[in-house]
């Protein structure tokens, strides 16, 4: 993760902010808030979330990411590194969506933001 942080931190010479995030939860189609990204009026923000899932949920009910309403399928492997990104033109939440009431999902990682 340190190499990823260093590369992302040098993205176009822009100021990249990072926020450590984590969650643990269950539920069918339940959004678990990781953080909120504030986008200034008239601006765009590149938002990336990178980390590792550990879950006892079934593979076909793996958790997913929701970045400001853009849903990105995480991984078909239930215990794996995962990432997603989106460009936001307005403020929005970064969530993990759990897909099953059987078992628990945990996620630990970082949300990176940079103004475009």
- Let me know if 85 is exposed, middle or buried by CB neighbors in 10 A (0-12, 13-18, 19+): middle
CATH number of the domain that residue 10 is part of: 2.60.120
CA 82 to mean position of chain CA atoms = 8
Q: Is 62 helix (H, G, I), strand (E, B) or coil?
A: coil
Q: Are 113 and 16 in contact (CB under 8 A)?
A: yes
10 φ, ψ (degrees, to nearest 5): -105, 10
Tens of pLDDT, residues 34-70:
999 999 999 999 999 999 888 766 656 677 899 999 9
Domain count, the chain: 1
Q: Is residue 11's pLDDT more than 70?
A: no
pLDDT of residue 18: 94
Domain membership of residue 10 as a residue range: 2-115
């Amino acid at each position: 993760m340190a190499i990823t942080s260093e590369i992302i931190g040098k993205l176009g010479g822009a100021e990249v902010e990072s926020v450590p995030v984590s969650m643990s939860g269950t539920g069918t189609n339940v959004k678990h808030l990781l953080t909120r990204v504030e986008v200034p009026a008239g601006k765009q923000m590149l938002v990336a979330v990178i980390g590792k899932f550990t879950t006892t949920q079934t593979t076909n009910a793996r958790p997913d990411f929701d970045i400001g309403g853009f849903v990105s399928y995480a991984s078909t492997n239930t215990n794996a590194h995962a990432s997603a990104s989106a460009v936001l033109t307005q403020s929005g939440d970064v969530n993990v969506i759990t897909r099953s009431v059987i078992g628990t999902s945990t996620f630990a990682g970082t949300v990176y933001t940079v103004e475009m």
